[in-house]
Amino acid sequence: MKLFIKTTFCSLLLCAFSTSAQFQQTELLQGLDLQFRVQLNKAKVPGGAYAVVRGNQIIATGSYGVRAMGKPEKIDANTVFRLASVSKTFTGGISVLAAQQGKVNLDLPLINYVPEFKLKTAAATRQIKVDQVLSQSTGLMPHAYENLLEAKQTPEQILPKFQELAPGCKPGTCYSYQNIVFALLDQVLSRGTGKTYEELLPERIFKPLQMSTASVGYAPFLATENKAMPHKRGGKGWRPVKIDPNFYWVNPAAGVNASVNDMAKYLIAMLGHKPGVFSAEALTQLQQPMVRLRGKPRWPVWQQFKQVSNWYGRGWRVIQYDENRLFYHGGVVDGFRPYIAYSPEQDIGLVLLTNAEADITGHLAKWFWQQVLSS
């Protein structure tokens, strides 16, 4: 398979790290590009792209391979991928912005906004607050009824099933990852603001950040000309598959589409360099760890720190290490595997997008943060 790589580096005068930095920019970016090519070629992944930001600048982008196996069109930095569960970070952001405007109260019970949501008892139903949905701490069984979504049942068909459930722990005290319940934030936002999720994201995030290729939903992705197509592993390696609409039925959980150029602009905002879109106050709320996960991060890089813990925040995963934090999220959906992460203290961020389900993004992220955070 041929490799198609395009990497851009900003001016050393503009982007040079301080002399106290623990890593060197040139070596980091050259190493990432090499790892990117080697890992994707080794796994025979059809295509992928990445971007790195430092401060308020995009310091590198790279692309590899083709949009669809058997087709000649190459991936570039503007090729749109499905973001899968990375979409949850946008839901966290728009929810915080709506709360700051007084349109949504994250401390209210979910049922105040979604009266159709019912658990086994009325008391159990009222226990779950909007913020606990956002922070994956409802206490419900993990991935509740997701199998029905995969079986092509709609959220409207699935929602009555929740009357059979009750939280297994006090909401807000334990981690319990959800997609269908998380997607109810669509109704919270629409009933609080008067606008749909599909209207809010472009208005409050995409357009202000000039994320020109970003979109929400199945139809906009189909209408995008420069898009990556999904691939799944078969008996003879990766094969192209149809774009499945079912996880687009839960847009706040998995329905955002974007390119690495768009996601780089988003990372710059997350690092605090677009205060007109995400103020310092908004980022403080968005970056708050909400519920602690069991166990510690396993990558070797974390062993050098005295205190390390895993958390889920408002749509973001969080690793706290000593006095620092790494915010990240990954995802897998029907032939795509994305990853995004940033470190406020290091003022650097990374996004990786691939059009196959191989865990290449995990290997690359592990290598990248090892270089950035190692002493």
User: pLDDT category, 375, cuts 50, 70, 90?
Assistant: low
Residue 227 has which token pair?
A: 């898009």
Averaged pLDDT of the chain: 93
Domains and CATH numbers, the chain: 45-374 (3.40.710.10)
Q: State mean pLDDT over 169-184.
A: 97
Q: State mean pLDDT over 219-232.
A: 98
pLDDT in tens, 328-362: 999 999 999 999 999 999 999 999 999 999 989 99
Q: Is 10 or 126 the better-scoring residue by pLDDT?
A: 126
pLDDT in tens, 302-314: 988 989 999 999 9
Q: Give the position of tokens 């959220």.
A: 155
Does the pLDDT of residue 20 top 70, yes or no?
A: no
- State the pLDDT at residue 3: 36
53 Cβ neighbours under 8 A, 6+ residues apart: 59, 264, 267, 268, 271, 342, 348, 349, 350
DSSP H/E element including 291? strand 291-292
Return the number of other C-beta atoms located less than 10 Å from residue 31's C-beta.
Answer: 15
Q: State mean pLDDT over 251-273.
A: 99
pLDDT in tens, 97-132: 999 999 999 999 999 999 999 999 999 999 999 999
Phi and psi at 109, nearest 5°, equal -60, 145
pLDDT in tens, 45-65: 999 999 999 999 999 999 999
DSSP H/E element including 134? helix 130-134
Length of the chain: 375
Does the pLDDT of residue 96 top 70, yes or no?
A: yes
Q: Which one, of 11, 39, 3, lies nearest residue 368 by Cα?
A: 39
112 Cβ neighbours under 8 A, 6+ residues apart: 105
